[in-house]
Amino acid sequence: DICNIPEVDHNLVQSLGQHLLPWMDQLSVEHLNPSIYVGLRLSSMEAGTKEVLYLHSLKLDYQQSLLSDDNSDLPTKPSMGQLALYMLALKANWHNHKGYPHSSYYQYSLSILALCVHQKRVHDSVVGKLLYAVEHDHHLLQGHLSVDTEAMAGLAFTCLERSNLNPNLRNRITLAIRIVQEKILKAQTPEGYFGNVYSTPLALQLLMTSPVPGVELGTACFNARAALLTSLQDGAFQNVLMISQLLPVLNHKSYVDLISPDCLAPRVMLEPATVPPSPGQVSEDIYVLLKVPSVWPPYRHTISVPAGSSLEDVLKKAQELGEFMYETEASLSGPYLTSVMGKKAGEREFWQLIQAPDIPLQQGIADYRPQNGETIELRLVVW
Ligand code: B12
């Protein structure tokens, strides 16, 4: 039994692609995002010359930052995971006319995957470290993030298994793939998600790559696809990084396909979406209670913003009003909250976004749009 994703409505897929288009014009260092390029190349759509220019800018930017030494004013060095995504992007740039076709476990896996699709052999001990973590059920990351991490590890192992780059580890690799597949299947929610809505695309990328012995994958994947479609229609996929992980799935592809990309597969040219004229009406204000209990004195204020504002708008407004302070850092997923009330998250800490009383948000500050009367808590936690 295989994990098969039935065809998805073309218009829906196209509107996701169109969402990426304006980003392809943003060629500044803070905006360049290799994941967008990979997602689009593995989709059924193309952006023509924009793609060429985008890859060119990625190359310039990454080469420059790799050459820079630490005290120059050139861009800071990309993380291991960003480099890995950049390598995936380089491999996603096949030529159509040729015709033939320390860090987290997530970033560690992404790096092994990126080297593997380039057919670069890494030492058995490097792979062994990830195998050990999976075999000994190390919490690849607590809570809801584990599915993303397990899926990325599974994709790396699947590439290694197919390429047979570490033949001595063959049996352990095969077994590890099965372990993560089973864990991901166990994490399926009653609605059909693997983990949560945003880990489902990577989970499906993995499940699509190989059958699981003795498991009915068909139904599980069918339910996941149905759940994804519902959230797609509800507008849950606004974040470009999330779209970039989803598009390959909707095109029956995974990162493992980058071993030998299918260069002949036709892709449809994307046209910019026509933006419906805004109704121009003045929107009402909503009230959001913002609190930070873990500082002294505790912060707690009701902030009013126009309906439809993001959590980031709420934070900005609170800062303008005084007493509240925050800082962000750009990441591939958008602005990441690094500091609140002057308190920077430390090495293994992060500022968690919580909808009171205790529901962690599934989106970042730029994407999450609070409802009227909601209470949002910012909580410094250890991960
Ligand atoms: Co997180 N996280 N995360 N996360 N995280 C994921 C991105 C994902 C997809 C997980 C999921 O729900 N399935 C969602 C985002 C969904 C969406 O965009 N709609 C998610 C969420 C929701 C969050 C939180 C908002 C949860 C919360 O507080 N309620 C917070 C961020 C709050 C804030 O802004 N302060 C959060 C926190 C974390 C921790 C646990 C701290 C770690 C990051 C710490 C670290 O590794 N040093 C974390 C991880 C590892 C991930 C994960 C598994 C991998 C990210 C990664 O390494 N990418 C992804 C899974 C995925 O992408 N499918 C989820 C690869 C590198 C190359 O890209 O941009 O350089 P990068 O990576 C950095 C950013 O991704 C940043 O930390 C990375 C390391 O520096 N980061 C960000 C991590 N999570 C998030 C979330 C958002 C919204 C932003 C803007 C940045």
The ipTM, to two decimals, is: 0.99
Could you tell me the CATH number of the domain that includes residue 341?
A: 2.170.130.30
- Please check whether residues 107 and 214 belong to one and the same domain: yes
State what percent of residues in the chain have pLDDT above 90.
Answer: 66
* Residue 362 belongs to domain spanning: 285-382
The residue behind tokens 């121009």 is 280
Measured from the CB, is residue 255 less than 6 Å from ligand 1?
no
Specify the length of the chain in residues.
383
* Phi-psi category of residue 280: left, alpha or beta, with phi > 0 → left and psi -120 to 50 → alpha: left
The answer, yes or no, to whether any atom of ligand 1 lies below 6 A from the CB of 239, is: yes
Q: Are strands 334-340 and 343-344 parallel, antiparallel or unpaired?
A: antiparallel
Query: Does residue 276 belong to any structural domain of this protein?
Result: no
Could you tell me the CATH number of the domain that includes residue 203? Answer: 1.50.10.20
pLDDT, tens only, 303-355: 999 999 999 999 999 999 999 999 999 999 999 999 999 999 998 899 999 99
Distance from Cα 99 to the centre of ligand 1, integer Å: 38
Angle between helices 10-24 and 34-41 (to 10 degrees): 150
Task: Answer whether residue 141 shows pLDDT above 90.
Answer: no
Please give the C-alpha separations between residue 51 and each of 84, 171, 232, 269, in angstroms, as whole numbers: 19, 40, 25, 11
325 and 178 in a common domain: no
Res 381 pLDDT > 80: yes
Closest-lying ligand 1 atom to the alpha carbon of residue 245 = 63
My answer on whether 360 and 260 are in the same domain is: no
Ligand 1, atom 10: closest residue by C-alpha: 145
User: Does the residue 376 lie in any domain?
Assistant: yes
Cα separation, 162 vs 69, whole angstroms: 37
Mean pLDDT of 123-152: 80
User: At residue 111, what is the residue type?
Assistant: S
* Residue 382 φ then ψ, to 5°: -95, 140
Confidence of residue 91 (pLDDT cuts 50, 70, 90): confident
Question: Given the CA of residue 196, which atom of ligand 1 is nearest to it?
Answer: 13
Q: What is the pLDDT of residue 165?
A: 93
- State the average pLDDT over residues 102-129: 87
Say if residue 256 is in the same domain as residue 341: no
5-14, 60-69, 106-115, 183-192, range with the lowest pLDDT: 60-69
Quick one: pLDDT at residue 266?
87
Spatial distance between the Cα atoms of 176 and 134, rounded to a whole number of angstroms: 7
The confidence band for 70, taking pLDDT boundaries of 50, 70 and 90, is low
How remote is the CA of residue 223 from the centroid of ligand 1, in Å?
A: 25
Question: For residue range 276-310, what is the model confidence (pLDDT) as tens digits?
Answer: 777 666 779 999 999 999 898 999 999 999 999 99
Centre of ligand 1 to C-alpha 126, Å, is 24
- Tens of pLDDT, residue by residue over 17-38, are 999 999 999 998 889 999 999 9
Give the pair of three-digit tokens for residue 90.
Answer: 């380089």
- Mean pLDDT of the region 73-90: 80
Best residue among 36, 145, 344 to mutate for probing ligand 1's pocket (most ligand atoms within 8 Å of CB) is: 145
Q: Note whether residue 277 is domain-resident.
A: no
**Which atom of ligand 1 is the closest one to the Cα of 332?**
69
